[in-house]
Amino acid sequence: MISNLEYYRTFFAVGSFLSFTKAADYLCVSQPAVSQSIRRLEQELGCTLFFRQGKNMYFTAEGQELFRHVKVVMKELHSAEYYVSRLSALKTGELVIGATETSIRFYLVDKIRRFRCSHPDIRLIFRGTTTHDLCRMIEDSEMDIGLVISPLPEGYSFNTTHLRDFQDIPVVSRRLGLDPDRVYRPDDLTEWPLIAVSEENIVRQHLEKWFFENHSMLNPAYTVRTTGMVAHFVREHLGIGILPREYVAADLLSGNLMELKMTSLPAPRSLYATTNPNVPFSEAGRQFVELLKADLPDPEI
């Protein structure tokens, strides 16, 4: 291996112009410095790279072969420099973002729209999945940023940026006949059909803990896979659902659903922008997180 790779840069300039003088001007160095670099390269390679005939300079056979390879390398280096400069200027590249259903519904879509307007050259790849799968994909470097809602599964060590808190509330269709003025205890809710996500969903564990702390047990009449299905069942007058206030904000505003008055509510949950600390963070990713941090939360209903 040549001791100084800068010799190849000088060789490429000389070979491109077949002139020490023009190469020196191009490299912004003196002609003796160019001559010395070529001489040292020839010494380390053990061969002559150029020869003169009259006033003209030509490649030797060895020089011609070396130039053919160095030209390919220099082209790749220039391409790499150009691509990296565009990455840093947010003129190209891609960003893989993952989120749970809840954060998609009340938080993420508008942020993606804003980012695309600001950085139209960045390709956004979006993946919606569960909290457990999201954490696994972040750990396996399958995505750049995950929007994860607490409680996070145990066993992961991520960089997290707190974005906002939100509150789960019991909601019900007015047609189900619950008293809008009554203040309910958590154990009162068990007198009506409850709708909840399945046990493998980390939200289920959060709600079970709340019922347990209030000397009751979550035993839903309907078990569904997603938060969206809980909301759908509630809208169809089938029972009580415990959902993020933001998730059902439009239903509350229209009067389609009502929030039950409670003596206590589940502990607030938090939304985090989550990244793998062992993976270098791109400028596009940093800009996206800054957009999330700078955005003020919507007023609560």
Residue 98 has, within 13 A of its CA and on its CB side, a CA count of 23
Q: Which two tokens stand for residue 43?
A: 């010494």
Examine the pLDDT at 265 and tell me if it is beyond 70.
yes
Examine the pLDDT at 119 and tell me if it is beyond 70.
yes
Closest to 183 measured CA to CA, from 79, 265, 282, 257: 265
pLDDT reported for residue 300? 44
Which DSSP letter does residue 265 get? -
How far, in whole angstroms, is CA 55 from its chain's centroid? 59
Q: Which two tokens stand for residue 75?
A: 């082209």
Q: Point out the least confidently predicted range of 43-47, 58-62, 108-112, 243-247.
A: 108-112
Place of tokens 């001559």: 35
Closest to 63 measured CA to CA, from 78, 46, 81, 76: 46
pLDDT reported for residue 55? 86
Q: Point out the least confidently predicted range of 105-109, 201-205, 285-289, 293-297.
A: 293-297
- Average of pLDDT values for 165-182? 94
Other CB atoms within 10 Å distance of the CB of residue 99: 27
| DSSP 3-state of 48 | coil
Under 8 Å between Cβ of 271 and 107: yes
Under 8 Å between Cβ of 229 and 102: no
Examine the pLDDT at 167 and tell me if it is beyond 70.
yes
Reported as a single tens digit per residue, the pLDDT across 4-35 is: 778 888 999 999 999 999 999 988 899 999 99
Domains of the chain: 6-88 (1.10.10.10), 94-164+270-294 (3.40.190.10), 168-267 (3.40.190.10)
Model confidence band, residue 299 (pLDDT cutoffs 50, 70, 90): very low
Under 8 Å between Cβ of 158 and 108: no
Note the residue count of the chain.
Answer: 301
Average pLDDT, rounded, for the chain: 87
CA angle 238, 240, 243 (to 5 degrees): 120
Examine the pLDDT at 191 and tell me if it is beyond 90.
yes
pLDDT reported for residue 35? 93
pLDDT reported for residue 80? 65
Under 8 Å between Cβ of 260 and 176: no
Examine the pLDDT at 131 and tell me if it is beyond 70.
yes
Under 8 Å between Cβ of 41 and 1: no
Reported as a single tens digit per residue, the pLDDT across 69-99 is: 998 888 888 766 655 655 554 454 678 888 8
- Of 130 and 194, which is predicted with more confidence? 194
pLDDT reported for residue 235? 96
Model confidence band, residue 180 (pLDDT cutoffs 50, 70, 90): very high
